[in-house]
Structure 1
């Protein structure tokens, strides 16, 4: 009986490691200023990210272009939406910047324990990259 439990445990760990390696973007990340943390997850065949912690948890979405949303808290917002995996890059999605209230096209590229997040308007050349660090 112990042997069966041991084998099942090993199989579950192997599947868990395989799932993580096939989706290296999934997990918790901290932005470069260390003011916010995002949890990236898969929903269906797309990837999303929720701002699960910010330094000032009382901060509101005051810059949102939709006036009816300006009273909501920033902490808990889904700021990354609709990314698709293409090779080692996740693209076709959007990132919402609560500091400016603007939404940008975005692509993300994992590089080990770092995640390059590039927001842009139009083409990727016209944008800015921020590097997130994986939270262990």
Structure 2
């Protein structure tokens, strides 16, 4: 039987330094939420203005859930993700090594990988 993947629980600084994401259990699965933004926000807060759903474009990005349904898969985690930067939903694959977490996000055949750093 394979060992469980390393925990993704905790606070992570994004690769671009623009925010901090908190990963925590939500029910039996794991979720990720933008804890706070590290960039200067417009008056009233940064909004989810690129969301494909017009009803959601007025949501604040700070506090937004961007990962859900994350479950152990092999040596990592997989689930669903959302990027407020480009308004895309994608299949997420997360893997932790030491204090780094790599995330591969795929929309159809196009994939992008970023690396986040665990905070304290």
TM-score tier after normalising by the smaller chain length: 0.7 to 0.9
| Displacement over 2 Å in runs of 4+ | none
By relative contact order (CA 8 Å, sep 6+), the higher-ranking structure is 2
RMSD between aligned residues: 1.7
Assess if the C-alpha contact under 8 Å between 2:30 and 2:68 holds in 1.
Answer: yes
Question: What is the distance in 2 between the residues matched to 1:119 and 1:133?
Answer: 17
Structure 2 counterparts to residues 56-71 of structure 1, below 5 A: 56-57=40-41, 58-71=45-58
Give the number of equivalent residue pairs. Answer: 113
Determine which structure has more spread, i.e. the larger CA radius of gyration.
1
Going by fraction, where is helix more abundant, 1 or 2? 1
TM-score by length of 1: 0.77
- Structure 1 unaligned spans of 5+: 1-20
Determine whether 1:134 maps to 2:118: yes
The equivalent residue for 1:101 is: 87
Residue of structure 1 equivalent to 2:25? 42
